[in-house]
Structure 1
Amino acid sequence: MSWRPLRGVLAVALLTFASGGIAGAAPIQRGTEMKTLCVGRFLLDVPAATAIQPGYVYARKKVETSTSVSAEAFRQRVAARTAALKAARHRSGESMWVSEIRFDDDAVLLTSWVSDSSRAGHRQEMYVLDPAHSVQYLVSGETEAAKLPAAIENYRALRPRISYRDPNSIPTAAGFCIDSGFIAGNRINSEEMTIGLRPRAYPGARMTLMSYVTGKPDQPLLQRASDLPPEYAAAAARMRNLRRGERNVGPIQGQEILAGAEEGGRRMYAFLWESQGRAESLQFPFLSLQLLTEDKAQAPAFRDDAEALGLWDQVLGSLRLRSGAI
């Protein structure tokens, strides 16, 4: 699973803008208390009243968190999933279920066929419970059927590295923050994250932070404009540049394109910042921050350009590698 295509629509729209003037940013005009999020191996400051929609991939495995899960509910979930897999039929006539392995009292790995027509691939689902905090983690992925023993050992090794983390706490050990959890370690892997942010103080505004370890960095944001199709020019024509150019965040090299428009008395914004990162680097992965406002929101997200730029600069400027993360 990967969220890398998410760069598409916003990037192609912004990249078609002609170069414009530079607009300076002012501090956020609304009194907004900030809080620090630990996301992946990075920290980000966002308005305290922000709804967060996390998405994580670690070692090619999707990681999902459920809260308020009792030990009994955990057992019921695993039993229900096992029963569903055993009831589902493969085209061979056998069930979709392949095996169940209990690593300990609070962790079980279920293996099934990846589809009802294939014998070449398996799907693994590892259920892990932290009974002290009633938090469940579901780690899932796909592997070749011929590599099942190695896949099982991979999950077995991953299980003790997953632990509960208070969402408001900042770990000091090497590892990868997930939703209400932590995966210890600093080996190079295919870890990714997509974090959706909706700051309630700015209704109609949504931000997205993306990151993934890249094998081959792409061209910088501003250099990709010439490769884009002309049909995006119409969408970009109604927007105006607020700021465009190099934008480094601490040691992280990046570029930004910030655009806005006013239509029917409503202000709309589309901001994009990217850092292409370095090959096979946990410290410098691909990073992207996006901000969009919704046309149909009941109230404008920002009073003016200065307020929009102020929020953007405060959030983007806070992005940093967590101390001890690597």
Structure 2
Amino acid sequence: MKGEWKTHAIGRHLVDVPASAKLVESWDYDNDSLELLAPCGDVQFSHLVSHREAQLRKKVQKSGRPTFVDRTPLTRNSVALVSWTLREAETSYLMDAYFRVVNNVIRYPKEHISVNEKDKIIDFLKRCSEKWQEVPAGQIPDGIGFVVGNTILADNFPNYESWRLLIKLEGKPDVTLEVSSFVGAAEEGLRQRAGGILARMLGMAAGLSQLRNHARPVGPIQADEILVAGTQNGKRGYGFKWEAPGKSYSLAEPNLNVSLEVRESAYATNRESFSSDDEALELWDTLVNSIRLRPGAV
């Protein structure tokens, strides 16, 4: 695939992507989702938090008590709004944190926090609020940290963190291309898990063939890949998968996945995907070969 490429930082990794592609990102930290909100100044931030607090204050528990519990200041002008998670019971909290990172705002709701864990989680949120930094436009961040858009949580706190990057290729709406990572390890490698299913698929589907099925390390990352393609009614379909199984509890060696698909759709030809297997493989190899841990990230 011709055209310019750029290096993109996400989580603790770097990946090269086509410069013309649209990127859709999502992130989890300590098993809860991070939401990057629109940049705003002090006044807008105050209104944002106050509006959310007013919403919570309108709600009432089944007991008749307010759902809203308190507003807890964090560091660097960040704040956490504490409320009851369920209307029917007062046994767990929702802690809705809003982190300020210069003019950036990150919302981080943590649900179902038990009453006796409240102080521990507040301390954790204060630690997070101290660690957020802005990443200057066009720069790849240095040092320890988990990258979220143009911000970085400069910490190596051991936790279950993950990210997902959906790459929407310009002029190729029929292609689904995704890279993802999560802290954890697969019990079996990709080829061990997929072996039987793949054999049945190849035996049952007319025109389906295996392009690759082998170990595919990328630098120090041990991984497997399975690439399948097939032609039906004149249209070429693809199912590509690359996976590094990862190590348990390792920020440096998480489970990594890349997948590419061209399946049945509203498009009757390959004009909206790939002109040939060579074009699909060129794109695939360029992207997969670029995946690496960001230097100093852990």
Q: TM-score surpassing 0.5?
A: yes
Q: CA deviation at 1:61?
A: 2.9
Alignment of 1:159-178 (within 5 A): 159-166=129-136, 168-178=138-148
Report the AA paired with residue 283 of structure 1: A
Q: 1:237 aligns with which of 195, 200, 205?
A: 205
Q: CA deviation at 1:68?
A: 3.5
The residue aligned with 1:15 is: none
Task: Give a deviation string over 1:48-107, Cα, whole Å, max 9, x none.
Answer: 011111111112332111233333222221111101111112221222211111225631
Change beyond 3 A, Cα 1:92–1:233: farther
CA contact 2:68–2:84 (8 Å) conserved in 1: yes
Task: Give a deviation string over 1:184-243, Cα, whole Å, max 9, x none.
Answer: 1223211111111112153321211111111x532011111367699x849972532111
Report the AA paired with residue 205 of structure 1: V
The residue aligned with 2:194 is: 225
The answer to whether residue 298 in structure 2 is matched with residue 320 in structure 1 is: no
Report the AA paired with residue 149 of structure 1: D
The answer to whether residue 177 in structure 2 is matched with residue 207 in structure 1 is: yes
Cα distance in structure 1, aligned partners of 2:88 and 2:235:
52
Cα distance in structure 2, aligned partners of 1:46 and 1:229:
29
The residue aligned with 1:54 is: 25
Alignment of 1:1-326 (within 5 A): 28=1, 31-104=2-75, 106-131=77-102, 134-142=103-111, 143-166=113-136, 168-214=138-184, 216-225=185-194, 233=201, 237-238=205-206, 239-296=208-265, 298=267, 299-326=271-298
TM-score, normalised relative to structure 2: 0.91
TM-score, normalised relative to structure 1: 0.83
Task: Give a deviation string over 1:3-61, Cα, whole Å, max 9, x none.
Answer: xxxxxxxxxxxxxxxxxxxxxxxxx3xx3100101011110000001111111111233
Cα distance in structure 1, aligned partners of 2:266 and 2:131:
42
CA contact 1:65–1:180 (8 Å) conserved in 2: no
Report the AA paired with residue 311 of structure 1: L
Structure 1, unaligned runs of 5 or more: 1-27
Question: Which segment drifts farther, 85-94 or 312-321?
Answer: 85-94
Change beyond 3 A, Cα 1:295–1:226: closer
Cα distance in structure 2, aligned partners of 1:102 and 1:279:
34
Q: CA deviation at 1:297?
A: 5.4
Structure 2, unaligned runs of 5 or more: none
Report the AA paired with residue 292 of structure 2: R
Cα distance in structure 2, aligned partners of 1:48 and 1:94:
53
The residue aligned with 1:20 is: none
CA contact 1:106–1:130 (8 Å) conserved in 2: no
Question: Please, what is the CA RMSD of the aligned residues?
Answer: 2.3
CA contact 2:227–2:239 (8 Å) conserved in 1: yes
Q: Percent of pairs identical after alignment?
A: 28
Q: CA deviation at 1:296?
A: 2.5
Cα distance in structure 2, aligned partners of 1:293 and 1:192:
25
Cα distance in structure 2, aligned partners of 1:316 and 1:251:
13
Report the AA paired with residue 182 of structure 1: I
Report the AA paired with residue 276 of structure 1: P
Q: Secondary structure at the match of 2:129?
A: helix
Cα distance in structure 2, aligned partners of 1:322 and 1:94:
48
Cα distance in structure 2, aligned partners of 1:89 and 1:203:
46
